[in-house]
A and B are shown apart, each in its own frame.
Chain A
Amino acid sequence: MLKILFFGQLKDVIKTECLEIEITESGKELNTVAKLRSMLQEKDDTWNEYLAYGKAMVAVNQEMTSDDTALSDADEVAFFPPVTGG
């Protein structure tokens, strides 16, 4: 099971804070960030727009990373807009 978290504006527009998805979802192996991202983008136009590569950054197990990162079962994946603290 992958745990997927959303933050900031992204969380608001897709009205979703947290999801749990089997790493093999409807026959597709979600074994990279890129595959997970495109599967989530298929949900609807808002998900497609706000989860786009370059618009939503990604962290796996609390480390900022890139789309070619491999995923394994029980990973925590977070998508969020560019950060604005400080």
Chain B
Amino acid sequence: MSHFTQIVVQAQDFDFAYEYQKLRDSNHSDGALVTFVGLVRDMNLQQSVSGLFLEHYPAMTEKVLNNIVQTARDKWQLGSVSVIHRVGQLKVSEQIVFVGVTSQHRQAAYHANEFIMDYLKTKAPFWKKETTPQGDNWVVAKHSDMQKLQNWRN
């Protein structure tokens, strides 16, 4: 039983309960466990979406995710950190991403979880292509996501 960092990029789905339990079981000194799960929505920019294709840059993805987690660990006192991101073809309401963080107290866990997601969205080399009735569209990066990074730097 000890703190861990887990970074996984995979095509298959993940089991939330299992991942949550792994974080819980990793130690008995942390009093906070914050999880986030990102799902495929059925709408984007007023257009109906029936699925997503997620592409990534395999050699780079895990490096970037590791750096993001390390930066979070430098900023906050964290216990275990788990990041799982899926790639390939996903249907509406499927799970895309899991971020789970433990720490002694809730504030560090909340902040670190949001920090990891904000950096993942703007730094990790993943690209989404949406399937819509009008055809497939590559998703365009949002300016608001870039602005969130600015908040962490201030």
> Which residues does A use to contact B, with CB under 8 Å?
5, 7-9, 12, 59, 62-64, 76, 78, 80-86
The 0/1 profile, CB within 8 Å of A marked 1, for residues 71-109 of chain B is 000000000000001000000000011000000000000
Residues of chain B within 8 A (CB-CB) of A76 are 59
Residues of chain B within 8 A (CB-CB) of A12 are 138
CB A26 to nearest CB in B, in angstroms, measures 28
Identify the interface centre among A7, A82, A83: most chain B CB within 10 Å of its CB: A83
Q: How large is the interface on B (under 10, 10 to 19, 20 to 34, 35 or more residues)?
A: 20 to 34
Q: Are B141 and A82 in contact (CB under 8 A)?
A: yes
Which of A7, A59, A86 is in CB contact (< 8 Å) with B38?
A: A86
Q: Is B27 an interface residue (CB 8 A)?
A: no
Residues of chain A within 8 A (CB-CB) of B138 are 8-9, 12, 81, 84
- Given A82-B141, A85-B120, A86-B117, verify A8-B60 contact (CB < 8 Å): no
CB B96 to nearest CB in A, in angstroms, measures 7
Q: Are A8 and B120 in contact (CB under 8 A)?
A: no
Per the bound structure, the CA–CA distance linking A2 and B85 in Å amounts to: 29
Q: Are B140 and A84 in contact (CB under 8 A)?
A: yes
Q: Is B41 an interface residue (CB 8 A)?
A: no
Report the nearest B residue to A57, measured CB to CB. Answer: B125
Per the bound structure, the CA–CA distance linking A59 and B96 in Å amounts to: 24
Residues of chain B within 8 A (CB-CB) of A59 are 57, 60, 125
